[in-house]
Amino acid sequence: MRIDRLPPLLALATLLTACAPALPLRVQDFGSGDERIELSKTAFFPSTERASAAAALATLLYTDGLDTIGPAQVTPLLGNRTAVPALRGELVDVARRFERLPFVLPPTLNAVLAEVRSGKPALVFQKLDGGRYSVVIGVDPLGNRLILRSGTDGRAYQPVDDFVARWRGGDQWAMVLGDGSKVPASATQEAWIATGEAATAAGYPALAERGAHAAIARWSNAVVPWVALGNARYAMKQWQGAQDAYVEALKRKPDNPVVRNNLALVLLERRCIALAEEQLERAVAGETDPKLLEAYDNTRVLISRYNGPAIYCPPPDDATAPIEYEIAPLNPETPRAPSAPRRVVPKPKP
């Protein structure tokens, strides 16, 4: 066969593939299995489309144990807007206010059904007229349909084709929530840690701490969950706890510059200045990313500007060190003992 005949043959194959009829969707194709599942104990709050966001979130909160919470408690926190996609951020924030860690699912039906199989109802946004928030509570393989709490229907059946089309119109957004003590069934390590970091940034580090503990239980040999635990504790000004978490991370990856920089910041808060400088230098020596080196420069500035009393501290990874070295955090309003001016830590030459 001549080589110059290959492109037309490939084009024909592509054409035949493009013309192949689309197969109907089956819920089993998304990991539902053949067993009917219905989370019948899921709460139900009937609602109009305008009030569907509050009702759907209240459904998750009530079902997760907050049995004094209903739409009346959620609605004032969401404002008077309708069920538009922009409310998604508010739903996440309100869930945190009720001490629940919200997890936005990967945009796949597999993820939604994985959560339902694990016992978690999933809040979804569907493009129905102006848009509606509903809660997926089950799957019916025999009828090839999903079961939802939606609008005024406590058991709404949607054929999988209809569900996917409406959900795709809503950007395939879905969310589950819990107290943070258990990693959702569909979560990857990266996505779960990012959820906790976002909670810390929003001012809810206690949620992030619980999420980090859950990550450690799920991925026991990983480094990142220990770093996340240290970051959450640092945000809560729990210096000794943060130091312990970073040390555990370094046991798993001793040459991690980011962790050493974070550890340097904790040691600065504990006034262990010599050790802070040592950890920073080790971070700089092991780093190749210019952006991270800039961040380490900021740590260097913080250390060099500190002019209060320094104390002796044992090495942070010394398991025999007495805990009495832990002292109160820095407080600019607290009078400081006289001390010699701090030297400027020299920046390494390139």
Place of tokens 């002796």: 312
- Sort 272 into a burial class: Cβ within 10 Å, 0-12 / 13-18 / 19+: buried
- Residue 28's closest CA among 16, 39, 36, 20? 36
Using CA atoms, how far residue 327 sits from 269, 278, 307, 334, in Å, is 9, 20, 17, 13
- CA dist., res. 344 & res. 280, Å (int): 13
Element (H, E) at 268: helix 257-269
Q: What is the mean pLDDT of the chain?
A: 86
**DSSP one-letter string for 128-150:** STT-EEEEEEEEETTTTEEEEEE
Q: How many CA atoms lie within 13 A of 259 on its CB side?
A: 24
Q: What is the pLDDT of residues 191-218, one digit of tens each?
A: 999 999 999 999 999 999 999 999 999 9
Element (H, E) at 249: helix 239-252
- Residue 25's closest CA among 132, 108, 124, 105? 108
Amino acid 81: pLDDT:
61
DSSP tag of 270 = T
DSSP tag of 174 = E
- Sort 236 into a burial class: Cβ within 10 Å, 0-12 / 13-18 / 19+: middle
Is there a contact between 163 and 135 (Cβ–Cβ < 8 Å)? Answer: no
Q: What is the pLDDT of residues 263-290, one digit of tens each?
A: 999 999 999 999 999 999 999 999 999 9
Q: What is the pLDDT of residues 40-71, one digit of tens each?
A: 999 999 998 888 999 999 999 999 999 999 99
Provide the token pair at 81: 């807007």
- The more confident residue out of 308 and 144 is 144
Q: In one letter, which amino acid is 193?
A: I
Q: Work out the average pLDDT over 243-253.
A: 94
- CA dist., res. 242 & res. 231, Å (int): 7
Domains and CATH numbers, the chain: 27-178 (3.90.70.10), 190-325 (1.25.40.10)
- CA dist., res. 335 & res. 139, Å (int): 64
- CA dist., res. 176 & res. 121, Å (int): 7
DSSP tag of 308 = S
Q: Under 8 Å CB-to-CB from 110, ≥6 apart: which residues?
A: 30, 31, 186
Find residue 122's DSSP bridge partners.
136
- Rounded CA Rg of the chain: 26
Count CB neighbours of 277 within 10 A.
20
Predicted TM-score (pTM) of this structure: 0.83
Using CA atoms, how far residue 222 sits from 219, 227, 228, in Å, is 6, 10, 11
- The more confident residue out of 32 and 35 is 35
Q: How many CA atoms lie within 13 A of 101 on its CB side?
A: 28
Q: What is the pLDDT of residues 100-137, one digit of tens each?
A: 999 999 999 999 999 999 999 999 999 877 789 999 99
- CA dist., res. 275 & res. 281, Å (int): 10
Amino acid 12: pLDDT:
44
